[in-house]
Amino acid sequence: MTFKVDSNGYYGQYGGAFIPEMLYPNIQQLKQSYLQIIGSSAFQNEFQQLLKYYVGRPTPLYFSHRLSKKYGTKIYFKREDLCHTGAHKINNTIGQILLAKYMGKDRIIAETGAGQHGVATASVCALMGVKCIVYMGSVDIKRQSPNVARMKMLGAEVRAATSGSKTLKDATNEAIRDWINNPEKTHYIIGSVVGPHPYPDMVSRFQSVISQELTHQLEFLEGRSFPDYLVACVGGGSNAAGLFYHFLDNPKVTIFCVEAAGHGVNSGKSAATTQLGRPGIIHGSKTLLMQNADGQIQEPHSISAGLDYPGVGPLFAHLKDTKRAHFRAVSDRDAMLWGLELSKMDGIIPAIETSHALGVLESEKFNKDDIIVFGCSGRGDKDLDTYINYFEL
């Protein structure tokens, strides 16, 4: 069994590139050049330098004494929240901005939900001196206002997506429409392992720095190069894809993907895509997605904007079908409480997306000697308003 993309852009039955003809040349150009560009030593030199000196990698693998004691197992956090701009998203935007440069593109568009990907894109555009336009659902603009201000300060133009549910799905639609309208000098920096091939594979590769570092860090700290468990939250799946990348073929590593249950998986207000979804096409990819019987895409709900997406990267649909990964869903309420728990126990205020992952500490049983690594995908600064309102702080 393989979990790498095949030559047609599929993970098992999922993936592909279901794009209108208008996008064919752009996707074709990406498909034909991405592996060669990413593999070149010139690219790798620049990429590694920027990851080190701009992003601040490697990120620590942090052992939580107090949580380990409380839950009777060995709990580590891979600290992507310590990346520049506060989340794993920048691993991908650094990679893609370099790729855009090598392809001669000088205008960047992006979609964003939580605003983390938007900020990470705006930052690297400032770094490279290129024009940046970020599409963001008008609902998200309200609930993630600090990130909107950041993007503006970084010189990006934030355009509100006002169609549909006015969240991440709609921002993605608008970004794709922008690309149709501006096909020549524009590169679209997608923020997760979603969209048409080759995006899911390309973004996974850029995020795979997470599991690559983890291999060495575990070797150093535990004397073995793999953990017993990996746990990550899944919106589109980019932080999870990065955390799992080098371990997918190692059957000794048990993998948990945690989705947002919202008000409850069957409440009608949920974003637990792999439980509620059926195979279909969203944003150019065949994957599991939340839809009605007629094939209309449904509006998801999560308190965390970054998980508020009705689809999931095609890799994750494949991980679900093959049972390689276990899927869990954690509610808005529980996620908020886990966020508080991590803050009080470790002095780490996590992004609400990240908080969802901690739910497995309650739902699963772990042994004393098990090594569990959580992807700590982002910090909670952007969510302070939500935390304040929720807990009446």
Ligand X SMILES: Cc1ncc(COP(=O)(O)O)c(C=O)c1O
Give catalytic residue positions. Answer: 89, 111, 377
Tell me if 235 contacts ligand X by CB under 6 A: yes
CB-based contacts of 117, cutoff 8 Å, min separation 6: 89, 92, 93, 110, 111, 191, 192
**Is the separation of the CB atoms in 259 and 329 below 8 Å?**
yes
What amino acid occupies position 215?
Answer: T
Closest distance of CB 239 from other proteins, Å? 25
Residue nearest to ligand X (CB): 378
Among 193, 282, 325, 357, binds other proteins (CB under 8 A): 282
Region binding other proteins by CB under 8 A among candidate stretches 89-97, 220-228, 276-284, 378-386 = 276-284
Closest distance of CB 20 from other proteins, Å? 4
Tell me if 12 contacts other proteins by CB under 8 A: no
Angle at the Cα of 255 (from 339 to 214), degrees rounded to 5?
80
Q: Per the structure block, which two tokens stand in for 92?
A: 């991908």
Among 7, 41, 223, 293, binds other proteins (CB under 8 A): 293
**Is the separation of the CB atoms in 159 and 174 below 8 Å?**
yes
**Is the separation of the CB atoms in 209 and 242 below 8 Å?**
yes
Among 7, 41, 296, 367, binds other proteins (CB under 8 A): 296
CB-based contacts of 266, cutoff 8 Å, min separation 6: none
Helix (H) or strand (E) segment spanning residue 374: strand 371-376
Phi, psi angles (nearest 5°) of residue 366:
-120, 150
236 binds, among other proteins, ligand X, none (CB under 5 to 8 A by kind): ligand X
Dist CA 352 CA 221 (whole Å): 28
Choice between 87 and 176, CB closer to other proteins:
176
Among 16, 300, 306, 339, binds ligand X (CB under 6 A): 306
Residues between 303 and 332 with contacts to other proteins, criterion CB under 8 A: none
3-state DSSP assignment of residue 104 = coil
Q: Which whole-number Å values give the CA distances from 147 to 29, 116, 274, in the listed order?
A: 32, 7, 28
Residues between 193 and 222 with contacts to ligand X, criterion CB under 6 A: none
**Is the separation of the CB atoms in 279 and 12 below 8 Å?**
no
21 binds, among ligand X, other proteins, none (CB under 5 to 8 A by kind): other proteins
Residue window 148-187: x/- pattern of binding to other proteins, with contact defined by CB under 8 A: ---------------xx----x---x--xx--xxxxx---
**Is the separation of the CB atoms in 124 and 112 below 8 Å?**
no
Residues between 344 and 363 with contacts to ligand X, criterion CB under 6 A: 351, 353-354
147 binds, among other proteins, ligand X, none (CB under 5 to 8 A by kind): none
Closest distance of CB 197 from other proteins, Å? 11
Closest distance of CB 111 from ligand X, Å? 10
Closest distance of CB 316 from other proteins, Å? 18
CB-based contacts of 53, cutoff 8 Å, min separation 6: none
Residue whose entry in the numeric block shows the structure tokens 């009705």? 310
Site for other proteins, rule CB under 8 A? 16-22, 24-26, 163-164, 169, 173, 176-177, 180-184, 278, 280-284, 291, 293-298
Site for ligand X, rule CB under 6 A? 87, 113-114, 116-117, 192, 233-240, 306-307, 351, 353-354, 377-378
